[in-house]
């Protein structure tokens, strides 16, 4: 098996070897190369100690010197070079007390999580595959290096990483490894929210987010996302639905980004302006969309009741769900922008647009222009996870709403106070005292303009404001 190493990686490896050390590309980059995928980054492992690496290269950064990692800088690009190491005893199922350097590559590979991540390669020695990683890649299997139970005792994050890799690669988890996951899942309680968040994000953005079901079946979600278990246990007897809340949720996550190819009904709307493609969303927005789908119905279980019509209803689940979404995202230490947008999208995901220009302007004003495009995608994905018999009308009205939105956007029609042709200062110039009244009048003017955008002119608005003031006297 031959891998084409990037020139700079090859250069670093050769330099280290020239100085009498061993050096290999290792881990994820080897795995991805075998799979024919472009690796995100190239890690190098070497028998040279950090101080020795630093002597060989002109520019280096002490990235994690205590753990043996030095970043070698070549023309502004950084490559992590880590000394072969053995992890000492682990504390609290998360990190080793100390690391020890070794001159033996096999020992370094043995400390790695899965066989597919424990291969090393260089142009001279070829592939070093001690644990059968190549065969496991061929067979599509995630298997721990050595005893799965021991590996999960050492670092419980590996439990979640197993699911995440199986979702990214579409691989099955080997039996022993799966058994050990079930046995050791409680250890995930000892893992920091940040590390869990990283893995969950990768799982959600992967090609197989349905592996969330494996996380559920093995008991992982009960530890890190118990809200999901409650959704899985909640049926929805309603003609809009054919799945439980949990299954509907996963179908929604899957549908995000595939809303167009999934729906043949879309064909007939070719003459309408096509919605934005998922790949056009930035990666931050993709994550916002995936998390919104994961949490959009999170409070359906608590809002469920059987109506007189014999069907289940979930009144108020949007607002309550927004609050719970906020709690979940805070718990996982998300950044404010993601948190804010997901919470608002959960709150508005069921909003019924009134399909007139004025109705749409009012909706944009209420919801916020910044999340409108995301909301259309959320709504489509939500629909595509419902009963297919109900898709067509719902999808048609989403596209109509979206078309109206783009028209309003292109005409730059006023949809908030900031876009109003006059401001508080103008009202003060008319003789009004600064205070609450100014806000009231501006809001009244905005209501007018949302109804009739042609009124958004300075003179017209001043006339209307003066009329309001007169009427009130
Ligand atoms: P990704 O595509 O997400 O970067 P990766 O395999 O490169 O995947 P990293 O987290 O970047 O994953 O780690 C690089 C390598 O370090 C892994 O391939 C694996 O060999 C090793 N590794 C990372 N995390 C662990 C861990 N928790 N336990 C054991 N080995 C690990
Ligand atoms: Mg990596």
Instruction: State the Cα angle at 102 between 99 and 106, rounded to 5°.
Output: 105
Assess whether the C-beta atom of 113 lies below 6 angstroms from ligand 1.
yes
Instruction: Report pLDDT for 347.
Output: 98
- The residues whose Cβ lies within 5 A of ligand 2, an ion, are 28
Distance from chain centroid for Cα 90: 30
Task: Kindly state the average pLDDT of the residues 302-311.
Answer: 95
CATH of 7-136, picked from 3.30.750.200, 3.20.20.70, 3.30.460.10, 3.30.1450.10, is 3.30.460.10
Q: Which of 34, 35, 14 is nearest to 79 (CA)?
A: 14
Instruction: State the Cα angle at 338 between 333 and 341, rounded to 5°.
Output: 135
Assess whether the C-beta atom of 219 lies below 6 angstroms from ligand 1.
no
Ligand nearest to the CA of 117: 1
Residue nearest to atom 11 of ligand 1 (CA): 28
Ligand nearest to the CA of 108: 1
Instruction: Report pLDDT for 270.
Output: 43
Whether pLDDT at 169 is above 50: yes
Ligand nearest to the CA of 96: 1
Atom of ligand 1 nearest to the CA of 157: 27
Assess whether the C-beta atom of 117 lies below 6 angstroms from ligand 1.
yes
Residue nearest to atom 4 of ligand 1 (CA): 28
Assess whether the C-beta atom of 112 lies below 6 angstroms from ligand 1.
yes
Distance 28 CA to ligand 2 centre (A): 5
Average pLDDT, the chain: 93
Whether pLDDT at 272 is above 50: no
Distance 179 CA to ligand 1 centre (A): 22
Assess whether the C-beta atom of 38 lies below 6 angstroms from ligand 1.
no
Distance 262 CA to ligand 1 centre (A): 33
Atom of ligand 1 nearest to the CA of 202: 3
Residue nearest to atom 27 of ligand 1 (CA): 158
User: d(Cα 342, Cα 333) in Å, to the nearest integer?
Assistant: 14
Whether pLDDT at 159 is above 50: yes
Instruction: Report pLDDT for 432.
Output: 86
Assess whether the C-beta atom of 158 lies below 6 angstroms from ligand 1.
yes
Residue of 24, 25, 26, 27 to mutate, ligand 1, most atoms within 8 A of C-beta: 27
Residue nearest to atom 16 of ligand 1 (CA): 27
Assess whether the C-beta atom of 155 lies below 6 angstroms from ligand 1.
yes
The string of DSSP letters for 284-350 reads HHHHHHHHHHHHTTTTHHHH-EE-TTSSEE-TTHHHHHHHHHHHHHHHTT--HHHHHHHHHHHHHTT
Cβ-based neighbours of 17, under 8 Å, separated by 6 or more: 23, 122, 124
pLDDT tens sequence across 55-90: 999 999 999 988 999 999 999 999 999 999 998 888
Percent of the chain past pLDDT 90, that is, above it, reads 87
Instruction: Report pLDDT for 278.
Output: 52
Atom of ligand 1 nearest to the CA of 161: 27
Residue 16 is encoded by which pair of tokens? 């280290």
Burial 63-96 (b: 16+ CB within 10 A, else e): beeebbbbbbeeeeeebbbbbbbebeebeebbeb
* Topology of the domain comprising 141-224: cca-adding enzyme, domain 2 (1.10.3090)
pLDDT tens sequence across 355-372: 999 999 999 999 999 999
Burial class (CB in 10 A: 0-12, 13-18, 19+), 408: buried
142 neighbors 172 (Cβ within 8 angstroms): yes
Percent of the chain past pLDDT 70, that is, above it, reads 95
Sequence ranges of the domains in the chain:
7-136, 141-224, 258-411, 419-472
The predicted model scores a pTM of: 0.93
Assess whether the C-beta atom of 157 lies below 6 angstroms from ligand 1.
yes
Torsion of CA 265, 270, 275, 277, to 10 degrees: 90
Cβ-based neighbours of 44, under 8 Å, separated by 6 or more: 9, 12, 13, 16, 23, 24, 25, 26, 72, 79, 80, 81, 82
Residue 409 is encoded by which pair of tokens? 């956007």
Whether pLDDT at 397 is above 60: yes
């Amino acid at each position: 098996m031959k891998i084409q190493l990037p020139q700079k990686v090859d250069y670093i490896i050769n330099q280290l070897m020239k100085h009498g050390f061993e050096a290999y590309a290792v881990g994820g980059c080897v795995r991805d190369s075998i799979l024919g995928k472009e690796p995100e980054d190239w890690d190098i492992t070497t028998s040279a100690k950090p101080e020795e690496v630093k002597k060989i290269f002109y520019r280096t950064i002490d990235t994690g010197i205590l753990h043996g990692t030095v970043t070698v800088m070549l023309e502004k690009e950084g490559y992590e070079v880590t000394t072969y190491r053995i992890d000492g005893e682990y504390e609290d199922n998360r990190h080793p007390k100390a690391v020890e350097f070794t001159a033996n590559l096999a020992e370094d590979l043995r400390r790695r999580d899965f066989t597919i991540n424990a291969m090393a390669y260089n142009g001279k020695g070829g592939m070093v595959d001690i644990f059968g990683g190549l065969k496991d890649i061929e067979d599509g299997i995630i298997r721990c290096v050595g005893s799965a139970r021991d590996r999960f005792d050492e670092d419980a994050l590996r439990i979640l990483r197993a699911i995440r890799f199986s979702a990214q690669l579409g691989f099955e988890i080997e039996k022993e490894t799966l058994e050990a996951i079930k046995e050791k899942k409680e250890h995930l309680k000892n893992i920091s929210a940040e590390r869990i968040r990283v893995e969950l994000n990768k799982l959600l953005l992967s090609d197989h987010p349905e592996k969330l079901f494996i996380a559920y079946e093995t008991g992982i979600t009960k530890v890190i996302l118990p809200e999901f278990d409650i959704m899985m246990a909640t049926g929805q007897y309603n003609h809009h639905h054919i799945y439980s809340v949990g299954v509907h949720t996963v179908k929604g996550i899957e549908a995000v980004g595939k809303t167009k190819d999934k729906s043949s009904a879309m064909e007939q709307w070719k003459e309408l302006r096509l919605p934005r493609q998922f790949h056009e969303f930035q990666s931050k927005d993709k994550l916002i969309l995936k998390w919104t789908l994961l949490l959009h119905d999170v409070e359906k279980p608590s809002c469920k009741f059987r109506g007189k019509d014999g069907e289940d209803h979930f009144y108020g689940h949007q607002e309550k769900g927004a609050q719970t979404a906020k709690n979940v995202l805070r718990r996982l230490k998300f950044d404010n922008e993601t948190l804010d947008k997901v919470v608002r999208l959960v709150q508005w995901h069921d909003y019924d647009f009134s399909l007139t220009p004025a109705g749409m302007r009012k909706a944009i004003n209420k919801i916020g222009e910044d999340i409108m495009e995301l909301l259309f995608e959320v709504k489509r994905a939500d629909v595509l996870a419902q009963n297919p018999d109900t898709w067509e009308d719902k999808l048609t009205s989403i596209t109509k709403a979206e078309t109206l939105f783009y028209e309003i956007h292109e005409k730059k029609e006023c949809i908030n106070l900031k876009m109003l042709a006059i401001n508080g200062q103008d009202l003060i110039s008319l003789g009004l005292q600064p205070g609450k009244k100014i806000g009231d009048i501006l809001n009244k003017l905005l209501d007018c303009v949302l109804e009739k955008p042609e009124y958004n002119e300075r003179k017209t608005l001043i006339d209307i404001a003066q009329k309001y003031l007169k009427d009130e006297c």
